[in-house]
Amino acid sequence: MWSNGSSHPFLLTGFPGLEAAHHWISLFFLFIYMSVLFGNGTLLLLIKEDHNLHEPMYFFLSMLAATDLGLTLTTMPTVLGVLWLDYREIGSAACFSQAYFIHSLSFVESGILLAMAYDRFIAICNPLRYTSILINTRVVKIGLGVLIRGFVSVVPPIMPLYVFLYCHSHVLSQAFCLHQDVIKLACADTTFNQLYPVVLVVFIFVLDSLIIFISYVLILKTVLSIASREERAKALNTCVSHICCVLVFYVAVIGLPLIHRFGKQVSHIVHLIMSYVYFLFPPLMNPIIYSVKTKQIKNGILHLFTTHRIGT
Which CATH code fits 10-311?
1.20.1070.10
Output 297-305 pairs: Cβ under 8 A, ≥24 positions apart. Answer: 297/43, 297/46, 297/53, 300/46, 300/50, 300/52, 300/53, 301/42, 301/46, 303/50, 304/42, 304/45, 304/46, 304/49, 304/50
Q: Where are the domains of the chain?
A: 10-311
Phi/psi region, residue 86 (left: phi>0; alpha: psi -120 to 50; beta: rest), is: left
pLDDT truncated to tens, each residue of the chain (312 aa)? Answer: 445 555 678 999 999 888 899 999 999 999 999 999 999 999 999 999 888 899 999 999 999 999 999 999 999 999 999 999 999 999 999 999 999 999 999 999 999 999 999 999 999 999 999 999 999 999 999 999 999 999 999 999 999 999 998 887 889 989 999 998 899 899 889 999 999 998 999 999 999 999 999 999 999 999 888 868 888 888 888 899 999 999 999 988 877 766 666 666 767 777 788 888 888 999 999 999 998 888 888 888 887 777 655 555
pTM of the predicted model, to two decimals?
0.92
